[in-house]
Amino acid sequence: MTSTTPSIQFFAGIDEELSNVSLRRNRTGKRIVLMIFEQLKAIEGLNSFTKQSLNYMRLTDEEGEINITPSSVQFVFGGAEGDELQRVECKFEIEQDECWNRFMRFMHRYAQANGMAYGESQQ
């Protein structure tokens, strides 16, 4: 295996910067991942209009690729006029333990490479 810097992409060749991630479990035991991006390079310069929509995400690290189809992608706007992109929330579910473990290995590598740290949410 080669050392690869972990990356998140909606479009090939455009690495995104993850701002935050929330890991939850619903009542049925499904694990829910909510990734938050404060900005997306994929939508800057009209990339989203010249390519496919944001219905596919690729996570890449030294183990290979994880291909994800989000269950929802929500654009949150704010600002004085209400037209400034505040963040993009990308949500998906992981059911199988093997897939969850692989995702967590990716997240640990991504966090380490990008200066992120795990912390419990404030209730």
Count CB atoms within 10 A of the CB of residue 27. Answer: 5
Task: Looking at the structure, give the CATH architecture of the domain made up of residues 7-113.
Answer: Beta Barrel (2.40)
pLDDT for the residue 49: 47
pLDDT digits (tens, 9 = 90+) for 29-58: 889 999 999 988 887 755 544 445 677 899
Q: Compute the half-sphere exposure of residue 89: CA atoms within 13 Å on the CB side of its CA.
A: 12
Count the residues in the chain.
123
Distance CA 101, CA 24 (A): 14
Residue with tokens 């890449």: 60
Query: pLDDT of 90-107, one tens digit each?
Result: 999 999 999 999 999 999
